[in-house]
Amino acid sequence: MKKISIILALMILLVSVTGCGATDKAKDGDSQPKDESPTELVISTWGYSEDLLWENVFTPFEEANNVKIVLETGNNSERLTKLKTNPDSNIDIIYLAEAFAQEGIEAGLFDELDYSKIDNAKKIDEKAKYLVEAGYGPAYTLNRAAIAYDPNKVGFEIKSWNDLWKSELKGKISIPEITTTFGPATMYIASNSKGVDITSDNGEEAFKALEELKPNLVKTYTKSSDLANMFANNEIEVAITADFAYPRVKAGAPDVVFVDPEEGAFINFNTINIVKSSKNKELAIKFINYALSTEVQTRTAKALGESPVNTEVELTDEEAANLTYGEIVGNSNTVDHKFVNQMKTQWIDKWNRTLNQ
């Protein structure tokens, strides 16, 4: 009996020690940091140059912040319409051209931003500061509309926007449709040719100027590929066009040059906004600050040809050759898209009656 008692006592002691060991082991496991699964950040953007965007923008941010970025791609209109239809979607951040961003702001789709958390916004060019001051998403890149023309065929040097109305250019010009990125800028150009501030008469003088321009117009265009084909096929000799479209034009028509008129080009800003329904707003703010950084803006300028808004970015003449950069920005004009959006429906109707009939 004594033997049995000793064996039982030993067994109880063994179980007790084993239990303590198991408890200690569990505590040690809890004290170790666990690998957290990455936070998903959904970004709505254009579908171009995705490989370069991943390499230069998205992947570095993922790796530094334990984030998994998911892209939704499409053009400005498609993506904004989709968000309007479903404002409670899972999209956190949306890239849009300025006109569409303003439309989203007016529809109440985006958050106002706390710029005290976006230090790199202080580095944004003065021309783009008004977007920061408005309180919504900042510009992260820009492009411009100027004049592309073949000097050998035109026979004189084009220096001014007003030169487009010269009779020597009869049947030689194309301009962007009003619904394109630089359609509204074309309205500003037309109004300025009459010496009238477009906001003072809601575009009345602009349409008179466009009526007078009709003899010089071959047709309007909506795609840069169509414009390039018109130059290549000798259908036109002059056009109002964007800097991003010019390389394609020049590839098919090597003699065509791209010039900034003496009155200055017209700028479009592309913006980044945070969607109001986002569940990751602090992370989204962190991404915007990152996208505006000198490092990222330098990478995207060199790799993607995106003109930087960060004034600390330094590029060589060769790197800046096809960009809207440096003094060009300061000499350029902006468009009031809040005003344009108020007039858009009326303008589209009158544009079609004036130019497309």
Residue 348, C-beta contacts closer than 8 angstroms, at least 6 positions apart: 178, 179
The answer, yes or no, to whether residue 26 has pLDDT greater than 70, is no
Distance, in Å, from the CA atom of 227 to the CA atom of 26, rounded to the nearest integer, reads: 69
Whether residues 57 and 126 fall in one domain: yes
Element (H, E) at 186: helix 183-193
Question: Do 252 and 162 belong together in one domain?
Answer: yes
| Model pLDDT, residue 35 | 64
Q: How many domains does the chain have?
A: 2
DSSP state, residue 34: P
Q: Which residues pair with 147 in a beta bridge?
A: 240, 259
Q: Has residue 12 been placed in a domain?
A: no
The CATH number linked to 250 is 3.40.190.10
Are 130 and 173 in a shared domain?
no
Return the percentage of the chain with pLDDT > 70, whole number.
90
- State the DSSP string of 105-148: HHTT-B----GGG-GGGGGB-GGGHHHHHTTSPPEEEEEEEEEE
Is 64 contained in some domain?
yes
The answer on 288 and 246 residing in a single domain is: no
pLDDT (tens digit, 9 = 90+) per residue, 246-270? 999 999 999 999 999 999 999 999 9
Confidence (pTM): 0.85
Look-up of token digits 């309205």: 187
Q: Is 182 in the same domain as 258?
A: yes
279 and 318 belong to one structural domain: yes
Residue 4 pLDDT > 60, yes or no?
A: no
Torsion-angle region of residue 13: left (phi > 0), alpha (psi -120 to 50) or beta?
A: alpha
Q: What local confidence, expressed as pLDDT, does residue 47 receive?
A: 86
**Residues ≥6 apart with Cβ < 8 Å to 69:** 40, 41, 42, 43, 58, 61, 62
Q: To which H or E segment does residue 39 belong?
A: strand 39-45
The residue-averaged pLDDT of 10-29 equals 40
Task: Quick: pLDDT tens for 88-112.
Answer: 999 999 999 999 999 999 999 999 9
Residue 165 lies in a domain: yes
State which residues form the domain around 258. Answer: 143-266+336-355
Least confident of 22-36, 49-63, 73-87, 205-219: 22-36
Q: How far apart are the C-alpha atoms of 34 and 51, rounded to whole Å? A: 32
Is the separation of the CB atoms in 340 and 199 below 8 Å?
Answer: no
Query: Is 70 exceeded by the pLDDT of residue 11?
Result: no
* Helix 204-213 / helix 183-193 crossing angle, nearest 10 deg: 90
Q: Is residue 21 part of a domain?
A: no
Q: Are 54 and 110 part of one and the same domain?
A: yes
Q: Examine residue 246 and state whether it is found in any structural domain, yes or no.
A: yes
- Whether residue 346 sits in one domain with residue 211: yes
How many other C-beta atoms are found inside a 10 Å radius of the C-beta of residue 190? Answer: 25
Q: Are 244 and 260 members of one domain?
A: yes
